[in-house]
Copies of this chain bind each other. A is one copy, B any other.
Amino acid sequence: MPSPSIYTVAQRAGVSIATVSRVLRDSGPVAATTRERVLAAAAELSWSPNRLAAGLAARVHGAAGIVFPDLAGPYFSQVVLGFEEQAVADDRSALILATHGRLNADEMVLDLAARVDGLVVMDRTVTDEVVRCLEGRGSPVVLLARPAVGATPAVRAESLDAATRITAHLIALGHTRLAFLGDPEAAPDVDDRWRGFLLAHLEAGLPAPGKPVRSGFVQDEGYAAGTALLDDAARPTAVVCANDEAALGVYAAARDLGLRIPDDVAVTGWDDIPAARAVTPPLATVRQPMRELGRQAGALLSARIAGVPADSLTLPTEIVLRASCGPPANSRTPTNRIPTPTRRLEP
């Protein structure tokens, strides 16, 4: 038995399909009694309009998509969730696409674009060229955690300054041998954090630090990179990690090497995931509004879909000092002064 159509409902209600459409979409005047009849008929047939047909006629998908590299860890999850919330708020469905660094990511994204009214694109999932192509085809795009491209706006969380500040804090605590753990080429945000790390050294008059210790975003990678970094007599006394999960990997590495945090090595992360407060010692980190990032990106996208030009947006981050960056045992600077405006001390 085929599913009922607007014709079935119209016939049952004794009206034309135009009227059915009117009551359902509340467009145009309809007599109260007529409305009742239509509603009743629709209910009896448990009919709901075919979104495909409705979309085709109205030239609207009623859907928005988000493209991200992966869904590993709280960061991406929260961003996607924020996006979903905004989409629902705008009465749109949310489509997701994880590229995983697949080679055919470009065509996957192009394909996705054909089924949504607009797209949020995270990180380096696709090239700038693809972004332009998308816009060229009439698909509004909002970039997330990645620089703007032409007129395509970007939503980001401040990274460079926060990285400079948290590094400066470590330096102020007396650290002179610091390492950066993360891959600046993996994501624009990480690159900013790395540059802030460098900048802090410059400003403090310290010699330039070594190259970053490459690591992905997941804990296992942080563990591997952390082990390689710390299993060395010339190990650093402080490690600035590109994200919390990698930092937790460093925690495990330090433990397995018999090193104490922060006495033997200070550690900082990024994101302020819940686990950062559960570990011992609590992890110092930089909080970024993950959910809000997704929400704002979705909101900007909605604006663009509506034809309203949207400007790029940078959300503030917040340094969260916790015991993991506490003064090392042989601290020469007992002060706890933090050279930054926005700060926070927990717990």
Contacts and interface: CB of A to CB of B under 8 A. Distances in A.
A93 B95 contact: yes
Given A77-B71, A93-B112, A112-B93, A133 B53 contact: no
A245 interface: yes
Interface in A273-306: 274-275, 277-280
Contact of A94 (B51, B96, B347): B96
A229 to B, nearest CB: 16
A52 B49 contact: no
Please provide the 6 A-B residue pairs with the shortest distance between their CB atoms, ordered closest to farther: A248-B278, A71-B81, A219-B274, A275-B275, A77-B77, A52-B56
A49 B78 CA distance: 33
A27 B98 CA distance: 29
Contacts of A256: 347
Nearest to A256: B347
Contacts of A280: 251, 255, 279-280
16 contacts: A46-B133, A48-B114, A48-B137, A53-B56, A71-B78, A71-B81, A71-B84, A73-B74, A76-B77, A84-B97, A94-B97, A95-B95, A220-B274, A248-B275, A278-B279, A279-B280
Interface string A235-258: 000000000010011011001100
Contacts of A76: 77
A84 B96 contact: yes
A290 to B, nearest CB: 11
A81 B72 CA distance: 8
B61 A52 contact: yes
Q: How large is the interface on A (under 10, 10 to 19, 20 to 34, 35 or more residues)?
A: 35 or more
A63 interface: yes
A115 interface: yes
Contacts of A277: 219, 252
Q: A55, A96, A251 — which one has the most chain B CB atoms within 10 A of its CB? A: A96
Nearest to A220: B274
A138 interface: yes
A189 interface: no
Interface string A126-143: 000000010011100000
Contacts of A78: 71
A149 interface: no
B111 A98 contact: no
A202 interface: no
B96 A96 contact: yes
Contact of A80 (B51, B71, B93): B71
Contact of A114 (B49, B72, B88, B252): B49
A233 to B, nearest CB: 24
Contacts of A63: 95, 115
Nearest to A91: B111
A335 interface: no
B248 A274 contact: yes
Q: A49, A98, A136 — which one has the most chain B CB atoms within 10 A of its CB? A: A98
A172 B218 CA distance: 35
B219 A245 contact: no
